[in-house]
Structure 1
Amino acid sequence: MINIISYLLIILGLLVVLYYALDIAWNLLKLVRAYLAPLFLPSEEKSLVHKYGSWALITGSTDGIGKAYATELAKRGINIVLVSRNIDKLQKTQKEIEANYSVKTKIIQADFSLGKKAVDIVKEEIGEIPIGILVNNVGKQYEYPMYLGEVPEEELWDIIKINVGAVTLLCKMFVENMRIRGKGAIVNVSSGSELQPLPLMTVYAATKTYVKNFTQALQYEYASKGLTIQHLAPMFVATKMNHFSDRIHKKSLFVPDAESYAKYAVSTLGVLDDSSGYWTHGIQTFFTKLPPEWIRMYIGGYLNQLFREDYLRNLKS
């Protein structure tokens, strides 16, 4: 009896080791593919209009990743619908794109912290424009790493409505028309914070976990209908969203600027359904996922404590 139990435990242990070995190998394969695919598939970059359609809608498109992503799509000949809450920035971005690329643009002023009201504005303004690519980029972060009790209640509601509500309702708005046409792409921008519970950014990270799970479920529902549903999970990008610490606000090898990130991320569209969007971020994601979740959580909490101290120190000075 003891020998049988010992054999069963050995087999169970081998199965666990095999599971983790296969998981590591699969993630490594995705990392290599993410790094090499944009280098060997330049024709994919030029075929987005043919593959998905001539119009793209990008939310949060006047700063950071959203603006850079819209610009990259315009370079490839795609007409752009810019959606943001600031009309001055919208008009400025529209002029920049039209001055540099031979594409049409449309601007829609919408504040997604208003929830369904903002989505209804987008629906009315779009009219009959056939959106072939939807980029759900708009997002809201904490002002700086905070304990839950410190975060204003209004800010928590805004994070939930923007990060969860907007991505859900905009996917609902466009996915059926894409299904009927038999082509289209939805890009939902999440965050590396989805990889574990994240102390001091508790609600923000939880909303990004929602985006990941929501997007992967959409892949199951609509991939067989001819649609591309992509989940993007960038690590730190040098944008104003990370203004609270110079450690992650300045450009470096592992913290690209928005333009570098977007150029690479767009090249993965139609190639990778799940991606960090940038080659060094793929490396970070691979090594981040190796330790157990509880270790990742404590490392994330420790880093956020450092970022919090940076912000408070700079605030005093």
Structure 2
Amino acid sequence: MGEIQDQLFILVGALVCLNYLLKCVKFSKYFLLRLWNPLPKSFFRSMGEWAVVTGAGDGIGKAYSYELAKRGLNIVMISRTLEKLQAVAERIEQTTGRNVKIIQADFTKDDIYEHIKENLQGLEIGILVNNVGMFHRYFPCRFLIGSDEIQNLIHCNISSVVKMTRLILRDMEIRRKGLVLNISSGAGRFPWPLLTMYSSTKAFVCMFSRALQVEYKEKGIIIQVVTPYSISTPMTKNLNPNLITKTADGFVKESLDFVAAGDEICGCLVHEILAHLIELIPSWILYSDTCQNITETFFKNVLKQNSSK
């Protein structure tokens, strides 16, 4: 019996060491890819002539639109507010010289995709950024408080990813190349109380993306899910940028350098470190009443401070 226990402990220890070794390898990709194997400047343009970005009027979507235009692509911007789209599109065309096409669509609705499909006809789409997303009306909140927005959250955070991917992936498969970036969240990496619906919808994006990559990687298509933590955007009430809270522009520039780093990334080194630190916290601490009260108070204070500016 003692010999079996010794072997079991050795096996567990070896698995723990292997786990941390794999994490070190993952971290090393952030340095090695940039220093020794950076993406060629022509990489994004080689995917196709156009990039489609959802939720492109503000925040991360706006930043992806600018950055991909700088890297040589024409841009299709899709969002709800026409005035924002027009203003951003004009600036992108003026600063980058690329063509920009805008499509007004409200992703909380489910009857928009035929309209989008008609407007995408004839375009060689090499990149799709499924970025559009929304929080609860109250943030953070317990499940019953935000229950009246369940369908909007599902349409915006889940249906948009699935249906936009179906619209565009088929042509990528025919051409045997393409890049799909699905923007999830660090809150989708594990159950996050007080963000129950948001966390759950973003977890779907993670599982959907990783499974889809297995199906299509042999066809020359890269499907990557990006799970950032704190980004300063209008959706997060323009949090003050700091070591952890990245600006949308800074985050997008860094994340695009790592589209070859794996099927799931946090998008920047500091968020990768944060993700693994959170994983070290025992679940009984993470989900304790005390921790949840601290989390709720912290979020409310931060958002209140930014709202009062």
- Partner of residue 152 from structure 2, selected from 147, 158, 165: 158
| Residue segments in structure 2 that go unaligned for 5+ positions in a row | none
Q: Which residue in 2 is equivalent to 1:189?
A: 183
Q: Deviation at 1:300?
A: 6.4
Q: Which residue of the partner structure matches residue 109 of structure 2?
A: 114
Q: Is the 8 A contact 1:60 1:138 kept in 2?
A: yes
- 8 Å Cα contact 1:198/1:300 also seen in 2: no
Following the alignment from structure 2 to structure 1, what is the Cα–Cα distance between the partners of residues 34 and 154?
34
| Structure 1 residue 307 corresponds to structure 2 residue 299 | yes
- Partner residue, 1:87: 82
For 2:228 and 2:116, how far apart are their aligned partners in 1?
Answer: 26
Letter in 1 for 2:273: I
Q: Could you say which residue in structure 1 is the equivalent of 2:58?
A: 63
In structure 2, the CA distance between the partners of 1:12 and 1:176, relative to structure 1 (3 Å rule), is farther
Q: Work out which of the residue numbers 34, 37, 56 in structure 2 matches 1:38.
A: 34
Please say if residues 28 and 286 of structure 1, whose CA atoms lie closer than 8 Å, have aligned partners that are also in contact.
no
Alpha-carbon distance between aligned partners in 1 of 2:287 and 2:248, rounded to the nearest angstrom: 26
1:129 CA displacement:
0.8
Q: Residue 246 of structure 2: SS of its match in structure 1?
A: coil
Counterpart of 2:123 in structure 1 is: 129
Taking structure 1 as reference, are residues 107 and 312 closer, same or farther at Cα in structure 2, changes over 3 Å only?
Answer: closer
Q: How far does residue 287 in structure 1 lie from its aligned partner after superposition?
A: 1.6
The secondary structure found in structure 2 opposite 1:132 is strand
Is 2:174 the partner of 1:180?
yes
Residue 5 (structure 2) aligned to one of 5, 9, 30: 9
1:101 to 96, 104, 110: 96
Q: Do 1:61 and 1:67's aligned partners in 2 also have CA atoms closer than 8 Å?
A: yes
The SS at the match of 2:77 is: strand
Cα distance per residue 1:121-168 (max 9 Å; x no partner): 211111111211000000011231011111141x22111111111001
**1:201 aligned to which of 182, 195, 201:** 195
Is the 8 Å Cα contact of residues 35 and 279 (structure 1) preserved in structure 2?
Answer: no
The 1:316–1:239 alpha-carbon spacing in structure 2 relative to 1, beyond 3 Å, is closer
Q: Which has the higher helix share?
A: 1
Deviates most, 32-41 or 281-290 = 32-41
* Shift in Å, 1:42: 4.3
Q: Which residue of structure 2 aligns with residue 269 of structure 1?
A: 259
Contact 1:31 1:286 in 2 (8 A): no
TM-score (norm 2): 0.92
Partner of residue 142, structure 2: 147
SS in structure 1 of the partner of residue 231 of structure 2: coil
CA displacement 1:72-95 (0-9 Å, x = unmatched) = 111111110000000000001100
Work out whether residues 186 and 227 of structure 2, in 8 Å CA contact, stay in contact via their aligned partners in 1: yes
Report % sequence identity. Answer: 33
Given that 1:64 and 1:239 are in contact with CA atoms closer than 8 Å, whether structure 2 keeps it comes out as yes
**What is the letter of the counterpart of residue 161 of structure 2?**
V
Corresponding residue SS for 2:83: helix
Cα separation, 1, equivalents of 2:221 and 2:32: 23
Q: Which amino acid aligns with 1:157?
A: Q
1:245-265 deviations in Å (ceiling 9; x for gaps): x8xx11001111001001001
Change in CA separation of 1:294 and 1:35 when aligned onto 2, cut-off 3 Å: farther
Aligned to 1:54: 49
2:108 counterpart SS class: helix
Native 8 Å contact 2:39 2:257 kept in 1: no
User: Which moves more between the two structures, 298-307 or 56-65?
Assistant: 298-307
* Residue range with higher mean Cα deviation, 264-273 or 8-17: 8-17
Q: Return the structure number with greater relative CO, CA threshold 8 A, min gap 6.
A: 1
Residue 227 of structure 1 aligns with an amino acid whose one-letter code is I
Are the structure 2 counterparts of residues 301 and 61 from structure 1 closer, same or farther at C-alpha, using a change threshold of 3 Å? farther
Q: What does residue range 289-308 of structure 1 map to in structure 2 within 5 Å?
A: 289-298=279-288, 299=291, 302-308=294-300
TM-score (norm 1): 0.89
The 2-side partners of 1:301 and 1:278 are apart by 28
CA RMSD of aligned residues (A): 2.2
